[in-house]
Structure 1
């Protein structure tokens, strides 16, 4: 009987027929229980915060507020909590015109009109509250806060956030292939940081540190810098959410940015780290579907997250729609330099820089997989030159690629990870 698995791919998914000779091991997250009443859960979170006063108490006496939300690449359920938060602020006396929603674009592309509607998720909020993109390149919109003590990272943060009397970041808490876990402090840096800040702690010395990896916070240089940067900003609070593969809300909390994030990480770790009994010569994974697989740039996360279960010399097959194509022009340039210089030459070039060129850190992360495995990509969103610039083998048929991989390795066992980087498989 034919076995078909549905991989996260774009908005609709991709059905893959597994060859008869394949013995699959399906790896999925622990089944979380969706919140029966998300609105009520948000209300409880705002009234029962982690290491902080209630939002109503925090808003009392404040004259301005800035709420930071993630950009279009993160499916945060903002529509569930933004209006309740704003209504509490209004009731506490903050004027509507003094409330700003700031989109944490980092060095990603600006948000389009449709993007903003999807990001905010609430027509009333979009119609009544000022919503702006962060611009990491606009020095006049940044505040210079000096340098971090530990590693000397120059710190510049969006002025609207720094100057606000009430500062709140929001986001998803999920495994992140460099920073350990997304959300919390990461929404500040790189989310609303200046380009020099971002390019410093995405430079070679940070990216080459083995502690800069998924599900690790202790000793992780990015996490440590992000915590210090958040402390330099001052008083910051956070809304942290966890969702399932159907984008349903599983968890939400509110509180002091560091304490509430760690509280959410503990819950996310229970859901996202999946033990498996063995390693595999062949792994089939996804780039998590829409919106994360809109670009090849974001697809790299899928190439790194499953490395803990992939045997050296194995085959990693990734499916990613790449509906918006490659990514930034800077990233495309980094990929072309990889092609012309080779792995060793490219890494040597990076090692000699103080600041990373924009987005070249993603190419450096891609090499974590390429130095140990044969990486193959199935996509419908890249043209000929873009396919060549990926630096990996682009395939036209996943089933055929699976047959070839198991034959090459003489091993029929294949790990199948439909959700991609939203979970981290571990041996044990």
Structure 2
């Protein structure tokens, strides 16, 4: 008999999942974060009272040009709220509009253009008044070579439009990141506007297999440490960092020196995002956080990795992801085909021999982690039969039936639901629930 229905993020809405009457359901989500009474006032306050820096108007005074980094379409950053106030501050301080560039920090993702770019920027005035362009990591000539990082020797090249600007600002969303600990801040710079060799070094097996390169961890995380060294190599860089709640409303914003302002945002969200759970589960149901993160299967892998701490070894992880844009890049598709052909062990062996990862194969490497832990089932409406085959996981068409079957198979009625997917990090063995 049917029991209760749990709604999880899926596309631009939610997917209802009916659970059997006998199921013992634990829903894991962030606590309600206090809404900002006035989002515009909060942004104004952050720009006027920065962390570790002078107010934006003072920073812009005497500068001849500026470059503002924004995340690409895969991140739901509320650019519509802050880009115009930032640009107007710069103009008021003497920087001409035609000397201000908004640069989309694509990393090695595809560019955002046309209607998608308009959606990303969210403000027609910004698109009309300043130059808005994409970063292309594969174009070596578009970057300035800064040498190598002092600790691990990562080759560093950064988009020259950012490097040559007098005022450099990164903007982004602070959320758990399954390799770098937390997104936002320094991550928008590298890999955001780094050259392909920098990015491919970050994503090589020597970084990816490091046990400290995990979500919500910055201590000893090799990716985070390299990112800090890179922003220090660049010089003066500032950042505006946003935090969203489950409704995608802005609930916190910081501005200031890139490292200090990012850490301030991390401290605000850390306690609400890393959720203590007192046990592990043989059945875990999660999402890929809905639109825009579940546009592709490539991004869906993040939702598979984040809940692993509460998945019982040998358990079943069921993930729902619309994949409205399909599979992902041609390079990711090729990596997945190799995974299916070679098997997980042989595929990983090919990665360990490389100092530079092939483009997008690192997401396939991350998929090995949930595959080692348990059985993965994917509910999607956006992949064709061949794409489903090369996911390397079991695809399902009935998520309600899959939940019921997992309960029966494991002989355990306890089910964990994570409606917001990788934006919430459940942790076993910390506290109780």
Corresponding residue for residue 398 of structure 2: 397
User: How high is the TM-score relative to the length of structure 1?
Assistant: 0.99
Are residues 1:278 and 2:279 paired?
yes
Q: Is the Cα contact below 8 Å between 2:3 and 2:22 reproduced in 1?
A: no
Corresponding residue for residue 40 of structure 2: 39
Q: Is the Cα contact below 8 Å between 1:21 and 1:403 reproduced in 2?
A: no
Runs of 4+ more than 2 Å apart:
none
Whole-Å separation in 2 of the counterparts to 1:398 and 1:73: 25
Whole-Å separation in 2 of the counterparts to 1:236 and 1:146: 18
Whole-Å separation in 2 of the counterparts to 1:229 and 1:20: 53
Corresponding residue for residue 72 of structure 1: 73
After superposition, the C-alpha distances for 1:206-247 in whole angstroms (9 at most, x for unaligned) are 000010000000100100011111111110000000001111
Corresponding residue for residue 353 of structure 1: 354
CA-based RMSD of the aligned residues comes to: 0.7
Corresponding residue for residue 62 of structure 1: 63
Are residues 1:120 and 2:125 paired?
no
The within-5 A match list for 1:23-422 is 23-422=24-423
Q: Is the Cα contact below 8 Å between 2:3 and 2:23 reproduced in 1?
A: no
Whole-Å separation in 1 of the counterparts to 2:397 and 2:203: 33
Whole-Å separation in 1 of the counterparts to 2:316 and 2:147: 45
Unaligned runs of 5+ in 2: none
Whole-Å separation in 1 of the counterparts to 2:333 and 2:150: 34
Corresponding residue SS for 2:13? coil
- The Cα of 1:118 is off from its aligned counterpart by 1.2
Q: Is the Cα contact below 8 Å between 1:242 and 1:268 reproduced in 2?
A: yes
Whole-Å separation in 1 of the counterparts to 2:411 and 2:268: 39
After superposition, the C-alpha distances for 1:55-105 in whole angstroms (9 at most, x for unaligned) are 010000000000000000000001111000000000000000000000000
Corresponding residue SS for 2:172? strand
Unaligned runs of 5+ in 1: none
After superposition, the C-alpha distances for 1:96-151 in whole angstroms (9 at most, x for unaligned) are 00000000000001112111111111111111110000000111110000000111
Whole-Å separation in 1 of the counterparts to 2:361 and 2:108: 12
- The Cα of 1:21 is off from its aligned counterpart by 2.6
Whole-Å separation in 2 of the counterparts to 1:238 and 1:169: 5
After superposition, the C-alpha distances for 1:16-52 in whole angstroms (9 at most, x for unaligned) are 1112232110111011012110000000000000000
